[in-house]
Amino acid sequence: MDFLQSFLIIFIVEYYMGNRIIKHKDAEDLLNNDKKYNRENKEHMLNNLFQWFIIVFSGAIFGYAIITFGFQTVTVVGPSMNKTLEDGEVVIVNKLTYKISDVERYDVVAYSLIENDSYYDIKRVIGMPGEKVTIKDGYIYIDDKQLQNSPYSEKIITSGLASEGVTLGDGEYFVLGDNVNNSEDSRYTNVGNISKVEILGKVSYIIKAEDKKGKVK
């Protein structure tokens, strides 16, 4: 009887202690796994956060470079481009256009004369390099042929330098204001022909105006 009691006591103690050891080991493994999961999860979150920061930072730098070197806002001053552009309107000038393509006839461009590079004027390109521009009897002639599809519905009153014909050199352009009878442009000696290096870029969009916004035509 004493032997049986001793055996039962030893069995119960060993069983109980064994279960405690197993349960303790299971709890320890679970805790270790939980710590490992939390550590990996934090590393994953930090990695995602770093990638997000790199993307945002790179985008900001790229955007700043595009805005700084690719585009510029210019405020229209005066009535010379009425009705296309009005005094006080703000336009976007695309400075990249003429780095990858040529200036075209009828483009509206912003330019700055070398002696006054802090101010940009806006006019429409009429004469191209190598051409002879003449204004006679109120009409524009290119190489002695009347310009077709002229943007001017009214006769031009003042011929200025173009009365006897102006021959453009390489990289030179003859520009006129859309409000042609109230515009200081290539017809006058203080402006003359515009060289490509004086052109800031193509006037592309109106972004601030009372009654119109959008692409400049």
Q: Which tens digit of pLDDT belongs to each residue from 149-159? A: 899 999 999 99
Q: Do 193 and 174 contact (CB within 8 A), yes or no?
A: yes
Number of domains in the chain: 2
Q: Look at residue 158 in the predicted model and tell me its pLDDT.
A: 97
Single-letter code of the amino acid located at 3: F
User: Please, where are the H alpha helices in 71-186?
Assistant: 97-100
Domain-terminating residue out of 71, 102, 133:
71
Same domain, 48 and 155: no
Q: Look at residue 47 in the predicted model and tell me its pLDDT.
A: 80
> Would the pLDDT of 67 be above 80?
no
- What residues make up the domain containing 10? 1-71
Same domain, 196 and 98: yes
Same domain, 99 and 198: yes
Query: Does residue 21 form part of some domain?
Result: yes
Query: Does residue 216 form part of some domain?
Result: no
Domain-terminating residue out of 71, 95, 130:
71
Half-sphere exposure of 96 (CA within 13 A, CB side): 7
Q: Look at residue 34 in the predicted model and tell me its pLDDT.
A: 59
Same domain, 181 and 152: yes
Backbone angles phi, psi at 20, to 5 degrees: -65, -40
Same domain, 6 and 54: yes
Confidence category of residue 20, pLDDT binned at 50, 70, 90: very low
Q: Do 131 and 165 contact (CB within 8 A), yes or no?
A: no
> Would the pLDDT of 198 be above 60?
yes
**Would you call 163 helix, strand, or coil by DSSP?**
helix
pLDDT tens per residue across span 96-129: 999 999 999 999 999 998 666 678 999 999 999 9
> What is the rounded average pLDDT for all residues in the chain?
84
Same domain, 142 and 118: yes
Confidence category of residue 141, pLDDT binned at 50, 70, 90: very high
Alpha carbons 93 and 112: distance in angstroms, whole number: 13
Confidence category of residue 27, pLDDT binned at 50, 70, 90: low
> Would the pLDDT of 78 be above 60?
yes
Q: What angle do CA 96, 75, 197 make, to 5 degrees?
A: 40
Same domain, 174 and 192: yes
Please give the sequence-ordered ranges of beta strands (E in DSSP) within the chain, or none if there are none.
71-75, 90-94, 108-111, 121-127, 132-136, 139-142, 145-146, 166-167, 172-176, 194-195, 199-208, 214-215
> Where residue 205 sits, what CATH number does that domain have?
2.10.109.10
Same domain, 197 and 146: yes
